[in-house]
Amino acid sequence: MDIKSDLMERFLRYVKIDTRSKDGQEDRYPSTDGQLDLLRMLTDELKQLELENVKMDEHGYVTAVLPQNVPTGVPAAKELPVVGLLAHVDTYHEVSGRDVKPILHENYDGGTIELPGAPGVVINPKDNPDLLKHKGDTIITSNGTTLLGADDKAGVAEIMTLLSWYRSDPSLPHPEIHVAFTPDEEVGRGTDYFDVEAFGADLAYTLDGSGVGEVEDETFCADTAIVTIKGVDVHPGYAKGKMVNAVRIAADFISRFPADALPETTEGYEDYLHPFQIQGSVTEAKITCLVRSFTEEGLKKMEQILEKLSKEIQEAEPRAEIKVDVSESYRNMKQVLDKNPKVVEYAEEAMRRVGIEPVRLAIRGGTDGARLSFQGLPTPNLSAGGYNFHAVTEWVPVQAMVKAVEVTDALMKIWVERGKP
């Protein structure tokens, strides 16, 4: 089987389906119909590969089972784990994913990549130093007017290619593999209805990471804070001494955020507050804010900042009503993965077997694996090969996607050799 050709054909086909999720759609799941289009396609393709128990449930989750294969003469542990492989089909909702026109930049020469649909929008090695690691590779981008969708259709295509490869070559050993394709990861709802017990895996991996060699075993702890401000609305012509403008108070609130605690001023293990949505009127305004830290103690400190700002503004304008409501989003999956070290160690070993030096990273964000880990399914995140996620300058080397398939195959072989940890 020609892995590269199969992988490219699938990826280029998948990215042309508009699967943007939509935030704030609590009354429906998945949040958009486009996701269901790709999920139905994947269901059909899994059936064509003759996997077992292929189904799409009422929430759109697509699952299937590939029975274990330990050919004669291949040494295997007495008891093999059931390994899950997951990827999400939705793309980032704030940038268009409609009418994606993928561009192949073959034999990349190390220079600036121009995107033909958006004059002046380029991918420059000065801003993307990893590009220079892929000289001579084929680089795929969009035409500059949309996302490419490698996040996470690269992961989807890689899993499908691996399954196709296993079906075409019975000499390849692997444990029983349970596959899942999920919607709405980009809006933080990818596992809202996912039934871990029914999925039936002992451990799992999401293929949703960025650069080659990344093994992500740590995420932020995450909360969402909603700041509600109630004002007093009167006719602006007679407002002196009477109006309390909730919109202006909201602007004041945001302006007081510490400059060194924002996503645009922090990196590594630094905490941040991110006001990413504001809506309302003179009468009432709401600020939705992401609270992020790698520790729960750090979360509390960030949330105390919000409470402090609330009290300060309330004292300055006692006629307003200000309330801060905090809800939990997810927690740092390292708390679970540290108790299951082989799940991560074997992934690193798999990378070394195919000539890649692994890089263990903490994600300044979230992944479905965070929630799954706390639901009893240890799930680190592996590289799918793409870069510049959530931007029209997104790019992915074909050879990086091929390596992701090879790494996953090597990982399956290790689980056959070692058995359950």
Report the percentage of the chain scoring pLDDT > 90: 94
How far apart are alpha carbons 417 and 287 in whole angstroms?
Answer: 52
Catalytic residue among 158, 185, 214, 409: 185
Q: How confident is the model at residue 421 (pLDDT cuts 50, 70, 90)?
A: confident
Report the percentage of the chain scoring pLDDT > 70: 100
270 is catalytic: no
Compute and round to an integer the Cα radius of gyration of the chain. Answer: 23
The CATH number assigned to the domain with range 3-219+332-418 reads 3.40.630.10
What mean pLDDT comes out for the span 168-189?
A: 96
pLDDT of the residue at 128: 95
- The per-residue pLDDT for range 217-263, each reduced to its tens digit, is 999 999 999 999 999 999 999 999 999 999 999 999 999 999 999 99
Q: How confident is the model at residue 26 (pLDDT cuts 50, 70, 90)?
A: confident
- The per-residue pLDDT for range 48-70, each reduced to its tens digit, is 999 999 999 999 999 999 999 99
Q: Where are the domains of the chain?
A: 3-219+332-418, 221-330
Collapse the DSSP code of 134 into the 3-class scheme (helix H, G, I; strand E, B; otherwise coil) and give the result.
Answer: helix
Question: Per-residue pLDDT for 366 more than 90?
Answer: no
Give the residue ranges of DSSP H helices in 375-397. Answer: none
- The per-residue pLDDT for range 252-298, each reduced to its tens digit, is 999 999 999 999 999 999 999 999 999 999 999 999 999 999 999 99
Within 10 A of 312 (CB to CB), how many other CB atoms are there?
Answer: 13
What mean pLDDT comes out for the span 327-333?
A: 93
| Nearest in space to 250 (alpha carbons), one of 278, 223, 272, 289 | 278
| Nearest in space to 178 (alpha carbons), one of 76, 90, 69, 68 | 68
90 is catalytic: yes
- The per-residue pLDDT for range 72-123, each reduced to its tens digit, is 887 777 799 999 999 999 999 999 999 999 999 999 999 999 999 999 999 9
Question: Per-residue pLDDT for 190 more than 90?
Answer: yes
DSSP state, residue 128: -
Within 10 A of 264 (CB to CB), how many other CB atoms are there?
Answer: 8
Total number of residues shown for the chain: 421
Q: What is the mean pLDDT of the chain?
A: 96
Write the CA distances from 390 to 265, 268, 269, 348, integer angstroms.
Answer: 19, 19, 21, 27
DSSP state, residue 31: S
| Nearest in space to 169 (alpha carbons), one of 419, 412, 420, 418 | 412
Stretch (H or E) spanning 338: none
Catalytic residue among 90, 151, 303, 368: 90
The CATH number assigned to the domain with range 221-330 reads 3.30.70.360
